[in-house]
Chains A and B, each alone.
Chain A
Amino acid sequence: MSATVTINKVQSFVYGEEFSLLDSMEEHQIPVTYNCRGGYCGRCKVQLTSGKVNWVQDSLVSLETDEILVCCCVPDGSISLTI
């Protein structure tokens, strides 16, 4: 099942089984800030406005319930993000 990722309601792409959402966003030239890619710097924190994600590595930073680190998760079905 393909998962569509919508960014700020204006841009969207189909997640292509990359290791993380960050990799997928880079693949689709979506500008996203990041530093560590390891879940501990928190720079790739974005708001998950709808949908669910699966975590592929531990996040080590404080997150609100609607926040995700794109370096640490992949979409579980279609999702929307605010960055």
Chain B
Amino acid sequence: MPDDSLIAALEGVSRIYDGGRISALNSVTLHVRRNEFLVITGPSGSGKSTLLHLLCGLDRPTQGRVLFEGSEPRSSKEWTKLRAKRIGFVFQSFNLLPTLTALENIEVPMFGQVSLRSDRRGRAMELLSGMGLSDRAGQFPSELSGGERQRVAIARAMANNPDILLADEPTGNLDSRSSAEVMKLLFDIQSKSNSTLVIVTHDRDLAKGAERTINIVDGRISQPEAGEETAACTL
């Protein structure tokens, strides 16, 4: 019987690369609750990004199951549909399309989801205003600062009003001031929209304010530290 309180889950998931030479994740079980704010920390190369990629179907497990709302998407087509409608993703390096303006970049995920051009534009403008960038709508990514680019990328991830927002080192390429701004923005989005937010970061300071933090070391979820929980604790 699926647990309605869970939005996504990894069950005994391992991810092995290079024919067994590299083990990125090792029998990880993690349950992500609906509307929670979860931070995944760990040193570089610990497997936290791999975990995030598995959660949204960008990568497939070598072993174990990845569930979304209790069922296991079988094909990449199913995962593509989920990423289009239900899952938002924020990259460390923004990944904005250089040929499109800030506003147009936000419209990109809406093709196929929002049929009217005016509706796409309206929604994109609304999101951009929410990011405090309404005056930068016509700028190309190369004309924006790092913080602005990441805010546009967050707006893009929110374009189709996803149920879960995944952010992979969202402040990794930003200075401390921009990092604080971006993190505040993500906290605000989570609290206002009441959606699920999962952030991967190696900066433990950024985990402050999260409802739950898990730590990954060498592809395994480590024991909880004071004030932290592991995924196992949620079972």
A pairs with B:
no
B: residues with CB less than 8 A from A are none
